């Protein structure tokens, strides 16, 4: 159903169309009751044709409305009026990442800063049992103050556990099993129509990161059959082979997200966020690990080595001072001999203990390195 500018949809006045997709059309609207601008997605007719699909979508909207994270678009309402289903959400201004990537690759610091927010937002959604299933640059918007917002959970699907919690009458078998999403950003398991989990979203994040880092998709075949085969079987070109300024640490993170086997990817968005945060801290500190990231044992070892070196230098200085005094005293008078043993007769086979021998050898080595005093 197409709405006209100025038309009322309940208490919402339609201002302008701001986007469209497979799920429906998005409008900027004004809430007459609360005096605020919002985004309204009018769902495509027939999308919720069955009572099961309508229940499922309502439950997802309910679950999403409870998510409270700065990186996730807020869902305010889900309703139906005169046969029109619509979803009311927060209106996000700013630039979408697909607009940003059109100008080429992004700097490492910007990718990691945005990536941390994206991973943290996904971690919050995944912990509530919500999967996005359609992550792509056009569904990611950066506000004027640099904050990332994840938009359009329209293809989100609840995990089995969450699905069983939100409705007693809606069984797991009612969840859709068909292929849905945007092909270049779909994980291999999603493309095959298999059951997906949080790791499928992580693969899509990897595609987004790859595109931001290189200015191109990891697989850009024009034919659907070739693109499908590449996603399922081929390894993407190394990001650093396209963007030689890209740090290898960021490349490693991107390629780990893009592993074909879900078991080899990051197992959670939380782990991905931790690695990105660590990389962000390294970048802001000029490549030097911040103090809070250094292991305590390593700090103790450094302190111990420093103290040991200082003591050794003090001992060496004291030894040299004593040697200088000894040399001065020797020059002032004749040589004197001191008895080393208490035997009554002469010692024909004198010997030294192992400790004494080592001490004498160490002292001799030091003496040999000190220049002799000129006579």
Q: Model confidence at 114, in pLDDT bands (50, 70, 90)?
A: very high
Is 163 strand, coil or helix? helix
As a whole number of angstroms, the distance between CA 363 and CA 125 comes to 69
Q: Model confidence at 189, in pLDDT bands (50, 70, 90)?
A: very high
Report the pLDDT value the prediction gives residue 297, as an integer from 0 to 100: 56
Instruction: State both tokens at 328.
Output: 């001065």
Query: Which residue did the predictor score with more confidence, 288 or 319?
Result: 319
Instruction: State both tokens at 198.
Output: 């949080």
Q: Is the pLDDT of residue 178 over 50?
A: no
Classify residue 364 by burial, with Cβ atoms within 10 Å: 0-12, 13-18, 19+: exposed
Report the pLDDT value the prediction gives residue 176, as an integer from 0 to 100: 39
Of all residues in the chain, what percent carry a pLDDT higher than 90? 43
Q: Model confidence at 174, in pLDDT bands (50, 70, 90)?
A: very low
Q: Model confidence at 175, in pLDDT bands (50, 70, 90)?
A: very low
Number of helical H runs and strand E runs in the chain:
12, 11
**Active-site annotation holds for 134:** yes
According to DSSP, the β-strands at 130-131 and 8-9 are unpaired
Considering only the top CATH level, what class is 95-288? Answer: mainly alpha
Report the pLDDT value the prediction gives residue 349, as an integer from 0 to 100: 54
Q: Is the pLDDT of residue 115 over 80?
A: yes
Kind and range of the H or E element at 53? helix 51-65
How do the domains of the chain map onto residue ranges? 8-90, 95-288
- Catalytic-labelled residue, pool 85, 134, 152, 275: 134
Fold of 8-90: Phosphorylase Kinase; domain 1 (3.30.200)
Mean predicted confidence (pLDDT) in 145-158: 78
Report the pLDDT value the prediction gives residue 140, as an integer from 0 to 100: 95
State the chain's mean pLDDT as an integer: 79
As a whole number of angstroms, the distance between CA 267 and CA 184 comes to 21
pTM assigned to the model? 0.69
């Amino acid at each position: 159903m197409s709405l006209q500018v100025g038309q009322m949809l309940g208490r919402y006045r339609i201002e302008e169309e701001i986007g469209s997709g497979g799920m429906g059309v998005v409008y900027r609207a004004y809430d007459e009751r609360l005096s605020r601008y919002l985004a309204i997605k009018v769902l495509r007719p027939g999308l919720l044709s069955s009572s099961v699909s309508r229940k499922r979508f309502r439950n997802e909207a309910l679950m999403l409305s409870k998510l409270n994270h700065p990186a996730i678009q807020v869902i305010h309402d889900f309703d139906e009026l005169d046969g029109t289903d619509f979803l009311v959400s927060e209106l996000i201004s700013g630039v979408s990442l697909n607009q940003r990537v059109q100008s080429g690759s992004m700097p490492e610091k910007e990718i990691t800063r945005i990536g941390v927010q994206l991973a943290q937002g996904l971690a919050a959604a995944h912990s509530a049992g919500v999967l996005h299933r359609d992550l792509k640059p056009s569904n990611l918007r950066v506000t004027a103050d640099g904050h990332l917002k994840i938009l359009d959970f329209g293809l989100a699907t609840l995990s089995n556990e969450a699905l069983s919690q939100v409705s007693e009458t809606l069984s797991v078998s009612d969840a859709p099993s068909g292929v849905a999403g945007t092909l270049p950003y779909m994980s291999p398991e999603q493309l095959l129509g298999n059951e997906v989990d949080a790791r499928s979203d992580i693969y899509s994040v990897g595609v987004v990161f790859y595109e931001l880092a290189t200015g191109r998709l990891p697989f850009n075949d024009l034919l659907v059959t070739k693109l499908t085969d590449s996603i399922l079987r081929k390894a993407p070109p190394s990001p650093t082979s396209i963007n030689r300024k890209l740090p290898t640490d960021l490349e490693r993170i991107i390629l780990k997200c893009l592993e074909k086997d879900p078991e080899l990817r990051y197992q959670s968005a939380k782990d991905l966020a931790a690695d990105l945060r660590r990389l962000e801290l390294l970048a802001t500190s000029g490549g030097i690990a911040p103090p809070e990231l250094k292991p305590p044992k390593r700090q103790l070892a450094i302190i111990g080595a420093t103290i040991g070196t200082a003591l050794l230098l003090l001992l060496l200085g004291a030894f040299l001072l004593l040697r200088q005094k000894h040399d001065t005293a020797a020059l002032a008078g004749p040589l004197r001999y001191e008895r080393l043993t208490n035997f009554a007769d002469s010692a024909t086979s004198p010997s030294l203990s192992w400790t004494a021998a080592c001490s004498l050898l160490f002292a001799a080595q030091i003496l040999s390195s000190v220049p002799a005093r000129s006579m």
